[in-house]
Each structure stands twice: as C-alpha cells, then as structure tokens.
Chains A and B, each alone.
Chain A
Amino acid sequence: MPTLNLLQAVNDALRLEMRRDSNVVVLGEDVGKFGGVFRATAGLYEEFGPDRVIDTPLAEGGIIGTAIGMALYGLKPVPEIQFSDFIYPAFDQIVSELSKMRYRSGGQYTAPVVIRTPYGGGIKGGLYHSQSPEALFIHQAGLKVVSPSNPYDAKGLLLSCLRQNDPVLFFEPKRVYRAAKGEVPEGDYEVPLGKCAVLREGTDVTVITYGAMVHEASIAVDQLAEAGTSCELIDLRTLWPLDIEGITASAHKTGRVVIVHEAPRTCGFGAEISALLQERCFTSLCAPIRRVTGFDTPFPYTLDEEYLPLAPRIRRGIEETVSYEA
C-alpha cells in the first residue's frame, strides 16, 4: 500500500472520482495549470482538461455562486477556496443559497457542491491564512462539515462527500498537509460521514478533537499515558452531522471530557459539543467539560504557536480535568 501525505490523498480522491464520474468538475483560483497553491489539484488539468479543471477569475462569491448553478444542472462541482480565510466573499452564497436550496424549493432543487478549503494555522500565515471558520458553517442548517486529520480519512471522506447529495464544506488541515503521512489504499473506498474514530481507547478522560489538532492531542495523550493517565482520543472526522452516539458513549464511560480545537473559544464548535454532552451525560460527568482552544483574538502572525492549542496546553487541560474533584 502506498504511503501518501494528506495532499496526495486529496489529489488521489479527486482523480479517482473524476475518472469514475464525468459530472465531477474542479474549479477555483489557480487550480488548473498550476495545480493549486498547495498542489492539491496537481496533474488534474493535464488529465481532464480545461473544461473539468477550471481556473476561475478571482472571486470566491462567483466560484461558489456558479458552482451552485452547475450543481442545479446536474454536475458535481468541487470548488476550491484557496484559503478558508477567503471564504467570506462567498459566505452569502453558501449561507443564503447553497445551504437552503433543498429546503426552500420544497426538495425540488438540490445543490450538492463539495467545497474544499485548507484551514487552520501553523504555516506562518498571519490573520488571513490561518483561520478556522468551521463553526460558522455548522451553525447553518443544510450544510455538512468535514475535516480529516490523516491521508486515509482524507481520501475516504472526500469520496463519500462526492457521492452524497448535500452540500459539504471539506476543511483540510493545512498544517499537516505534508506532515501527515500514512498508508492509503490505491483503489476505491469510502470513510462514512457522521462517524468519529476512536484513535485510542482509555478510561480516565475523553479527548475530542479534529483536524490538525488530532496530532497535538496525540502527543499529549502519549505523554500522559507514560504518566499513567488513560485517555480516550476521539477524532470527529465529520463535524456535522456530529457522531453524537460516539461521543456520548465515551463521555459516559470516562466521565471527564476535554475538547480541543484551533478556532477561537467563544461560540466555537467546542461550546456546542460541551452543551450536548452536559445535556446527555450530566449524571456521568465528574468534572466540568474543558475546552482547550485558540484564543478569542484574531490569529496572530508572530505568536502563532502560542495561539494554537498545542500539546503542552492540551496536556495541562487534560491533567486539570483528570485531577478535578468536586
């Protein structure tokens, strides 16, 4: 089985599906001849040509707005937003149009657009190449939100997204685009949407995270294991629809929960997960649910490592949660 990085796995999924389904088209800024600024679409232009791998004008609202029309007509557009920080010009098209097309037409029209976008910090990108806006989209009825942490999931989740009929935001953790490597089957397979992965089973505390922070949480959990703390590490993979059964089962089991994400804390996805778990697991909980997250500041350029909830901060959050006594 070949070892790929996360970018190569995304590329592999796109190529596989474009060969299988002639309705799949890729569009975005620099995705064609250049193969994308991160090279996620490298080689697709050469194989599928300019009608299916389309370099668009520089307008995110136009990319998503026209992708909606393409999907209405029966194509399967996969627009790339070059950095998720640039998604806001398309926010209206995503929120007002894409997410509501099925509902507002009484189910007559659907627009299953799969929007790929790199997100998160760690590449010295400053305010506008580092943001994690996933919660804004989870808040919108009608959208699915997915974020893989590793190459195997990236390929399998993307293929699943391309074969279902709802609009998806596919957030790719660019911090680990090349760093995350792993074995990826050459052929076709799917990773089901709406199912989390329990990366490590444990009994003392549940650590819930996704995207690039899975790797940081892994480091923290490994260190704590040596110190005798048994952590259950959950990679959500699909943020929405959330695997509510998976996380509640774990919270019931351990009674202590730490949620980790890069996005700012206030109204971040951790807040929703925390609320859901206290509603469902109240009598099982032995400690307040803890959030270890990015801060409620814009994303800083120089102090980016300090902003991110990296392993040391995660470890401290876990330790405090495990040692909490009422």
Chain B
Amino acid sequence: MISPAVSRANGKHHGKAKGRAARPKPKAPALRAVKPGGLSNAQLLEVYRAMMRIRVLDDRMITLQRQGRVGFYGACTGQEAATIASGYALRPGDWVFQALREQGVALMRGLPLVPLIAQVFGNSGDLTKGRQMPSHPASRAVNHVSWSSVIGTQLPHAVGVAWAAKLKGHDTVAMAFLGDGATSSNDFHVAMNFAGVFKVPVVFVCQNNHWSISVPTKNQTASESIAVKATAYGMPGVKVDGNDVEAVYAAVSDAVSRARAGQGATLVECETYRMGAHSTSDDPTRYRDQNEVEEWKKRDPIQRAFKRLQSLGAWDAQRDEELRAELLEEVNAAIKAAEALPAPALDTLFDDVYEHETWNLAEQRAELKAASR
C-alpha cells in the first residue's frame, strides 16, 4: 500500500523547491502565484508509482470491458498527474469527493485493489454492495465519499464537510474534484459561493481535460480560464499545468496548507487532457480531431514524470519496466480475486434504504424471495 507520507503532515517539503505553476495573465489579478514547494525524489517516485498503478489498472479495466467482463469504466488516462499529485497533498484524515476519474486517489490513500475492482464488477466484494455503476467507489476507511453521476453535486457536500470540520474545531481539509463541465452546474456556483462566504477549508481541484464527453471547454464557459472564476467568489484561483506532477503538487499543497491554516478555500485548475474516451460507452473520433489527441499524447504525464525522475537520477528504463511488470502482476492477481467473488446476496437489494427496514420493504423482500424460489 502506498500512503501519503505522514512526514509531510507538518507542511514541510523536501528537495529542490520549484514553482512551475502557469503565471497569471495580467487580466486576471486574482490568480495566485504558487509558492515554491516540492517533492523529494522519494516522494516523486511514490507519486509516480501511484500514477503508474492507476494507468495499469485503467488499461486492464478497459480491456475487461471490451471483453464483456465489466459493464462500464471511466479511466483516468492522461490525468494521472492532476489526480494523484492532488490527492498526495492530503493527510490521511482529510476527505475526498471524487468525480468520475479519481478512484486512484482512494487507492493511493489505502483502499485495497480487490474491493476497488470488485466495485467495477459490482459483486459481493464491493464495499458499496454492487449498487452503483463502475467508477463510483466509496470507502469510509479512507474518507472517500460516495458520489452520484449527477455532475457537480458532490461539491456542496465537500463544502459541508469542511464547514463541519471548521465548526468542530478540527483541522480536516476536504478536497473536491470536478471536471471542466461541472463548472457550468448550479452546484459549482453554490459550492464556491458558500465556501467563499463561510471561508471553509475546502480545495476544489478542477481537472480541465478540455472535453465534457463531446463538448469542448469553450462551449462550457466564456471565461478566459476556469481558475479566474474564483475571483467572483472571493477566493484564490490557480491555474497549473496539470500534466506536471510537481506543479500540481505545489499548487494543491499550497491550497491545502491555506485551508488547514484557516485561510479558506481555493480553486485549482489543472489543465490536462482526457487521452481516451469519456467512458467505455463513448467514441471520441466522432467529435474531436485525432491530431489534438496525438499532440497531447506527447505531454503524457506519466512519460513526463518518468523523464523528470530519470533526469534526477532517481529512475531508469529498466526499473520502469520492472515496476510496470510488478504492477501488472498485482493488478491481474487482484482482478482474478475480485472476479471470482459472487454477486451480492439477494437480500442486500433491500438493505440500507433506511437504518431500519420499513414495512413496505419487508413485504417487497418477501415478494422477491418467493418469486426466486
């Protein structure tokens, strides 16, 4: 298991400081310049390993879907730096609200592979009892909250958690992920507004991957950036190269530190790219230019992190091959174990609607069981 280093909990960074966040444009004075902050070689390698792990998992899950073994999958491919480096800035007690592609954060924070994959299969090994589509995991143990498929709705929940932590005098931080499409939703507006007014310790991490299924970001907003929207809510907005692990980490850890110090919310825009389809149900060749995809593939965050580690003398191609093989073996073993698990028991269909079963559910449970004898 890879867990966020507790040694970072004091907010001190090791290694060479850097500040690679995109510079704010003159027209957008509210954008914060990110303070230098950095990852040690060991930490960078830890992040890289978590990125690679989700890449390997995603590749296998898409294959499984093509083989008809799982019904659906939403991959993180191309967005691993924005996702993993953001999650890496949190402490174990912090809370995470994912959108479609951030299950790798739960994995990094300690959710084991088998229950995560069992969620994709929707079987009895799934902590959520096979109730949601794939890519909707939840784990109380790592404060990874269940999300619905309705875009943006998790954002006010993150604000509420952060607000409650503040009211209770805890130093917990809530991190809410969203895509560029979610910035058009009413819940984005209310979440940003409440977070601004009540100055709660929440970090919004927008993965601007340029596409909301088939709709490009320019059709979501006329704003010059997503980060600039923060200005209207009275909080800092930061735009970073979302495919640069260190830039993402610097920006997000700065936002997390501000939140923990009682300085309120931040919106971090990670500019990245959805290298694959929206989901396994999508065909992006119908709406986007393949040349664009090829251009972004050259900026693949995993290749960039590899080159960075290589330039630091901390990694090489041979070790990379070994790591990939090791992770593939781990993932394949977990798939084997997860796939072997039975479907959720019939009775679970009626569990967890209420704390105590109501009479109508008791009747319907009996009806189903009688019909399935």
Contacts and interface: CB of A to CB of B under 8 A. Distances in A.
Interface of A: 25, 51-52, 56-57, 59, 61-62, 64-75, 77, 89, 92-93, 96-97, 100-110, 141-142, 144, 164-166, 194, 240-241, 244
Contact of A59 (B127, B158, B165, B190): B190
Contacts of A110: 355
B128 A105 contact: yes
A68 B157 contact: yes
Contact of A101 (B146, B162, B167): B146
Nearest to A107: B352
A280 to B, nearest CB: 11
Contacts of B165: 73
A65 B127 contact: no
Given A105-B146, A109-B146, A165-B355, A57 B163 contact: no
Interface stretch (B26-34, B129-137, B210-218, B305-313): B129-137
B263 to A, nearest CB: 18
Interface stretch (B41-49, B101-109, B148-156, B276-284): B148-156
Contacts of B168: 73-75
Scoring A93, A166, A244 by chain B CB atoms within 10 A of each residue's CB, the highest score goes to: A93
A69 B200 CA distance: 12
Contacts of B150: 92, 96-97
B231 interface: no
A164 B356 CA distance: 10
A103 B131 contact: yes
B156 A69 contact: yes
A106 B153 contact: no
B358 interface: yes
A91 to B, nearest CB: 11
Contact of A106 (B128, B158, B354): B128
Nearest to A55: B197
B314 interface: no
Contacts of A92: 150, 153
Nearest to A164: B355
14 contacts: A59-B189, A61-B156, A62-B191, A65-B190, A66-B156, A66-B163, A66-B190, A69-B156, A75-B167, A93-B187, A105-B145, A108-B146, A109-B138, A141-B353
B315 interface: no
Contacts of A64: 156
A69 B153 contact: no
Contacts of A104: 128, 131-132, 136, 138, 146, 148
A65 B359 contact: no
A69 B167 contact: no
Contacts of B95: 73
Contact of A62 (B156, B167, B352): B156
Interface in B94-142: 95, 126-129, 131-132, 136, 138-140
A65 B127 CA distance: 24
Contacts of A61: 156, 186-187, 190
A72 B154 CA distance: 12
Contacts of B160: 65-73, 77
Nearest to B141: A108
Contacts of A67: 160
Interface string B183-204: 0001101110110010000000
Interface string B334-373: 0000000000000000011111001110000000000000
B146 A244 contact: no
Contacts of A65: 153, 155-157, 159-160, 187, 190-191
A66 B355 contact: no
Interface string B154-185: 01111111111101100010100000000000
Given A66-B194, A69-B161, A105 B138 contact: yes
A235 B170 CA distance: 44
A56 B351 contact: no
A97 B153 contact: yes
Closest 4 CB pairs of A and B: A69-B160, A65-B156, A62-B190, A73-B164
Given A104-B146, A108-B128, A69 B164 contact: yes
Nearest to A51: B167
Contact of A70 (B136, B163, B187): B163
Contacts of B197: 57
A69 B158 contact: yes
Given A66-B163, A74-B164, A104-B146, A142 B153 contact: no
Contacts of A73: 95, 160-161, 164-165, 168, 172
A48 to B, nearest CB: 12
A257 B145 CA distance: 46
Nearest to A111: B157
Nearest to A64: B156
A73 to B, nearest CB: 4
Contacts of A241: 354, 358-360
A51 B168 CA distance: 10
Given A65-B153, A166-B354, A75 B164 contact: yes
A17 B182 CA distance: 38
Given A68-B156, A70-B167, A244-B359, 17 more contacts: A57-B193, A57-B194, A65-B153, A65-B160, A66-B163, A73-B168, A74-B164, A92-B150, A102-B353, A103-B353, A105-B140, A106-B127, A141-B353, A142-B354, A164-B355, A194-B358, A244-B360
A25 B163 CA distance: 12
Given A104-B131, A106-B126, A106-B131, A72 B145 contact: yes
B134 to A, nearest CB: 13
A217 B201 CA distance: 51
A191 to B, nearest CB: 17
A49 to B, nearest CB: 11
Nearest to A167: B354
A50 B189 CA distance: 23
A116 B47 CA distance: 46
Given A70-B163, A74-B164, A100 B148 contact: yes
Contact of B194 (A62, A75, A93, A103): A62
A109 B140 contact: yes
B357 to A, nearest CB: 10
Nearest to A62: B190
